[in-house]
């Protein structure tokens, strides 16, 4: 029986050494119907020469500037031929059955649109078993260990498999996001349409991690904060947007201030922040927050248009997502 074709898409920026290890593991997988596309964000570390010499079957897309993650992934998706798209970070080492385990799950349930591998660190501790958001639209990473397939809010782009037809139906990643939370936004919009995202724990990928932060370390906090705001505006119902934004700034604004003062006075905090909150706290200024709000105002027409598109096709309400414990109360 002919296996569904999978298009593996990897975004690279000055990550030749990481990419070499990733591809070495990828071409040992026990799945015989896949293609590989590498989109290079204008690297200067001879990545293209390395690929041309060592991996002639890899499709190479060279961009003239660093365009982040969302847009390059969309560019690659448009030229691929796969029934499924597999977005894979260049700082990963895959295991032989990671593709086949996800394909087995997604092809047998028409309600599943997205799968995530279990992401492990080099010491076999869990890097991510999926993302969830709370009722205010704040994202957090699950690190629970399970042997069962389970629903998650969104799959991490480090190893995410999605039905190509659903990806196109969703309009791909939001290119305004540039980097961070574009995978969460995609998962949110998928759930709104009534399609599930799941963790496939038998699909194992080792994730070195930190590459995104290293590449965009000057902008990671800005993109993280403004993208969280953008998601709330586009993906909540109109009747909930102002309420959720007010509650978010009230609850998490006070928390951010506490983290900021802790870092300022003691150099550390008793609160366990996410990596984006750490970035904000480590830079004792509020430029990022004001810059994010200004970006929202600049892009308000676009966000409003996207909000209308998302909600005109809505199948599941926010209340429904809370009821089935995909959007969590905290």
Q: Are the beta carbons of 200 and 108 closer than 8 angstroms?
A: no
Average pLDDT over residues 243-265: 81
Split into its structural domains, the chain has a count of 2
SS (H, E, C) 126-169: EEECCEEEECCCCEEECCCCCCCCEEECECCCCEEEEEHHHHHH
Query: Is the pLDDT higher at 33 or at 285?
Result: 33
Domain stops at, among 215, 247, 276? 215
Q: Is residue 176 part of a domain?
A: yes
pLDDT at 197: 98
Task: Verify that 225 and 208 share a domain, yes or no.
Answer: no
Q: Is residue 50 part of a domain?
A: yes
Q: Which domain holds residue 295?
A: 220-328
pLDDT at 294: 95
Mention every residue, 6+ apart, whose C-beta is less than 8 A from residue 193: 169, 170, 313, 314, 315, 316
**Measured distance CA(295)–CA(285) in Å, rounded:** 17
Question: Mean pLDDT, the chain, as a whole number?
Answer: 91
**Measured distance CA(217)–CA(214) in Å, rounded:** 5
Range with the largest mean pLDDT of 48-62, 135-149, 280-294? 48-62
pLDDT 10s digits, 149-169:
999 999 999 999 999 999 999
**Measured distance CA(75)–CA(179) in Å, rounded:** 15
pLDDT at 10: 98
Q: Is residue 2 part of a domain?
A: no
Q: Residue 137 region, left (φ>0) first, then alpha (ψ -120 to 50), else beta?
A: left
Matching residue, tokens 């009747």? 239
Residue 211 has pLDDT above 90, yes or no: no
Residue 210 has pLDDT above 80, yes or no: no
Task: Verify that 173 and 26 share a domain, yes or no.
Answer: yes
pLDDT 10s digits, 94-140:
999 999 999 999 999 999 999 999 999 999 999 999 999 999 998 88
Mention every residue, 6+ apart, whose C-beta is less than 8 A from residue 103: 3, 4, 6, 31, 84, 161
Residue 75 has pLDDT above 80, yes or no: yes
Which residues are 151's β-sheet partners?
Answer: 198
Task: Verify that 183 and 77 share a domain, yes or no.
Answer: yes
pLDDT at 248: 87
Matching residue, tokens 């071409």? 27
Domain stops at, among 173, 197, 215? 215
pTM of the model: 0.92
Residue 223 has pLDDT above 60, yes or no: yes
Residue 313 has pLDDT above 60, yes or no: yes
Report which secondary-structure segment, H or E, holds 113.
strand 112-120
Residue 28 has pLDDT above 70, yes or no: yes
Helix (H, G, I), strand (E, B) or coil at 31: coil
Q: Are the beta carbons of 126 and 145 closer than 8 angstroms?
A: yes
Task: Verify that 307 and 271 share a domain, yes or no.
Answer: yes
Task: Verify that 167 and 309 share a domain, yes or no.
Answer: no
Q: Is residue 159 part of a domain?
A: yes
pLDDT 10s digits, 40-67:
999 999 999 999 999 999 999 999 999 9
Task: Verify that 228 and 179 share a domain, yes or no.
Answer: no
Residue 275 has pLDDT above 60, yes or no: no
**Measured distance CA(172)–CA(181) in Å, rounded:** 13
Task: Verify that 58 and 187 share a domain, yes or no.
Answer: yes
Task: Verify that 117 and 188 share a domain, yes or no.
Answer: yes
Task: Verify that 319 and 189 share a domain, yes or no.
Answer: no
Residue 216 has pLDDT above 60, yes or no: no
pLDDT at 208: 87
């Amino acid at each position: 029986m002919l296996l569904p074709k999978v298009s593996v898409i990897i975004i690279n920026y000055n990550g030749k050494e990481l990419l070499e290890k990733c591809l070495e593991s990828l071409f040992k997988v026990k799945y015989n119907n896949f293609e590989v596309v590498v989109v290079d964000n204008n690297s200067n570390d001879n990545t293209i020469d390395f690929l041309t010499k060592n991996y002639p079957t890899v499709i190479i897309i060279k961009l003239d500037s660093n365009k982040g993650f969302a847009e390059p992934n969309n560019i690659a998706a448009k030229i691929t031929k796969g029934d499924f798209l597999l977005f894979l970070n260049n700082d990963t080492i895959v295991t032989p059955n990671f593709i086949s385990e996800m394909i087995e799950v997604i092809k047998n349930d028409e309600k599943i649109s997205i799968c995530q591998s279990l992401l492990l660190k080099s010491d076999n501790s869990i890097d991510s078993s999926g993302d969830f958001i709370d009722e205010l639209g704040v994202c957090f990473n699950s690190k629970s260990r399970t042997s069962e397939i389970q629903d998650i809010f969104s799959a991490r782009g480090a190893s995410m498999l999605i039905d190509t037809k659903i990806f196109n139906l969703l309009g791909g990643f939001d290119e305004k996001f540039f980097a961070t939370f574009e995978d969460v936004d995609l998962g949110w919009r998928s759930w709104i349409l009534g399609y599930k995202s799941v963790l496939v724990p038998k699909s194992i990928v080792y994730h070195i991690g930190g590459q995104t932060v290293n590449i965009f370390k000057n902008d990671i906090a800005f993109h993280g904060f403004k993208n969280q705001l953008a998601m709330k505006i586009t993906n909540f119902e109109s009747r909930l947007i102002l309420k959720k934004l007010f509650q978010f700034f009230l609850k998490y604004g006070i928390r951010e201030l506490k983290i900021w003062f802790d870092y300022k006075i003691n150099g550390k905090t008793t609160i366990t922040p996410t990596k984006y909150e750490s970035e904000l706290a480590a830079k004792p200024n509020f430029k990022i927050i004001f810059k994010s709000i200004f970006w929202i105002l600049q892009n308000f027409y676009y966000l409003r248009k996207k909000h209308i598109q998302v909600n005109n096709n809505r199948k599941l309400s926010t209340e429904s997502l809370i009821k089935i414990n995909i959007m969590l109360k905290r």
